[in-house]
Amino acid sequence: MTPTRADFPPGFLFGTATSAYQIEGTGGAGPCHWDSFAATPGNVAGAADGRRACGHLDRYAEDLDLVAAAGFDIYRFSTSWARVLPEGAGAPDPEGLDFYDRLVDATLARGLKPALTLYHWELPSPLADRGGWTNRDTALRFGDFAALMAERLGDRVWSWATLNEPWCAAWLGHFAGVHAPGLRDIRATARAMHHLALGHGVGLAALRAGGVGQIGIVLNFEPAFPADRGEAVRAATLRYDAVFNRFFLGGVARGAYPELALEGLGPHLPRGWQADLDAIGAPIDWLGVNYYTVKRITHAPGPWPNWAEVPGPGRKTDMGWEIAPMALPDLLRWISGSHTGDLPLYVTENGMAAPDTPVAGETGPEIHDEDRIAFLSSHLAAAREAIAEGVPLKGYIVWSLLDNFEWAFGYGKRFGLVHVDFESLQRTPKASYHALKRMLEDRRP
Ligand code: IFM
């Protein structure tokens, strides 16, 4: 695989990522809105749920051994709010806190930097019952959760992210209805967008008050291109860009939401939302950029936002996502040039889903995921190009360590560097894992 570690600046960090609900298995956690979303027929492919997932709760040591053996520097993971605070607030469950304590210690013991994301989508059901992210109180309770985690783990965690991909939690969960809580309502969407942004701000303040540093947020980006000529298509593309790429970035980096997003969402925002922008736009220490694909947009009739996605010309992953490494340098340049300046950027997720069928090898199953090796190589080359052009990119993290619960797609979409047999839970490193290991070993001066 090229480029290799030696082609990146000294100190550039490589990692791999997971999230709590997707790998842990629920055992002992309080109920969360993904449990009830998955328990509702038709929401998740194969009627799958997160009850067992990858059994990481019991196998975390083996999983961390895999991260360390590959030669990664960073292990990015998330904490389940419902495991730590089954009621969403109030008394923590000591066993939940102990699990993350052990996980952080085990990460450090292997020479890895623990990069913790507080919220990767599993909202405790008692908070969902009170309106979830449509309710301002959820953002305040998130601050309490952040304070608790800072107090317990602040002495050992290397970096903190408040939220992962708030656009998905807000838009896919409240507008498209394909993520928990499964709503399709623009008013709920607007409120969830704002309260997630506020949750970031409140969480950030709580982490700062707790004395921890290296605090950021992880946002997902999809550069959008007009699918056809014409003013209506161009306008639809700009609207898509405003909602997808610029809403949270604008809030966090400028303390302002883009006008084009406010055109549709503004009338539904909670009264006095402007007063929250100072907290939302408070300084952060780094920004996480999740990058998978680009979008081709056309105009759609009907109510705002009047856009529709159309398939692009490029090759697609198993998710149907167009493979577009060439858009990554432009994206990173645009983020730093227009919003974040010298702020360190990290690619906090990049990877692809592929069928990854095991074949019999001499010593056991083998997975020849050459497509993933090509995908990762091309995106690493794109990251390197961005650095050469002066983007302050400091690290690159692969999604994901393990095949896992891919939300509404259940267990059918495999993103892992390590194959998981969901019957036996056996882990088998794929060819991409071995290729990355070799590329990380290259430390030639
Ligand atoms: O699996 C997800 C992850 O939870 C968030 N970012 C995108 C990944 C692939 O869809």
List, for residues 222-244, the tens digit of each pLDDT value: 999 999 999 999 999 999 999 99
Q: Confidence band (pLDDT; 50, 70, 90) for 180?
A: very high
- The pLDDT assigned to 337 comes to 98
- The pLDDT assigned to 116 comes to 99
Q: Confidence band (pLDDT; 50, 70, 90) for 143?
A: very high
Q: Kindly state whether residue 91 falls inside one of the protein's structural domains.
A: yes
Average pLDDT of the chain, as a whole number: 98
Q: Kindly state whether residue 166 falls inside one of the protein's structural domains.
A: yes
**Annotated binding residue at 406?**
yes
Best residue among 24, 321, 400 to mutate for probing ligand 1, ranked by most atoms within 8 Å of CB: 400
- The pLDDT assigned to 252 comes to 98
388-397 confidence digits (pLDDT tens): 999 999 999 9
Q: Is the pLDDT of residue 306 over 90?
A: yes
Residue 427 to residue 62: CA distance in whole angstroms: 9
- Locate the ligand 1 atom nearest the alpha carbon of residue 120 and give its number: 4
- The pLDDT assigned to 174 comes to 98
| Pocket lining for ligand 1, CB < 6 angstroms | 19, 22, 165, 290, 349, 399, 406, 415
* 444 Cα to the center of ligand 1, angstroms: 33
Q: Is the pLDDT of residue 317 over 90?
A: yes
What's the structural domain count of the chain?
1
Strands 295-299 and 307-310: antiparallel
Q: Kindly state whether residue 383 falls inside one of the protein's structural domains.
A: yes
Helices 94-109 and 136-153 pack at an angle, to 10 degrees, of 50
Q: Torsion-angle region of residue 273: left (phi > 0), alpha (psi -120 to 50) or beta?
A: alpha
CATH number for position 62: 3.20.20.80
Q: Is the pLDDT of residue 333 over 80?
A: yes
Q: Is the pLDDT of residue 358 over 80?
A: yes
Q: Confidence band (pLDDT; 50, 70, 90) for 176?
A: very high
Q: Kindly state whether residue 19 falls inside one of the protein's structural domains.
A: yes
Q: Kindly state whether residue 425 falls inside one of the protein's structural domains.
A: no
* 91 Cα to the center of ligand 1, angstroms: 30
Q: Which residue has its alpha carbon closest to ligand 1 atom 10?
A: 406
Parent domain of 187: 5-349+379-417+436-440
Residue 183 to residue 370: CA distance in whole angstroms: 38
4-27 confidence digits (pLDDT tens): 999 999 999 999 999 999 999 999
**Annotated binding residue at 407?**
yes
**Annotated binding residue at 350?**
no
* 410 Cα to the center of ligand 1, angstroms: 12
Q: Confidence band (pLDDT; 50, 70, 90) for 44?
A: very high
Structure tokens at 16: 């791999």
Counting residues of the chain whose pLDDT is more than 90, the rounded percentage is: 99
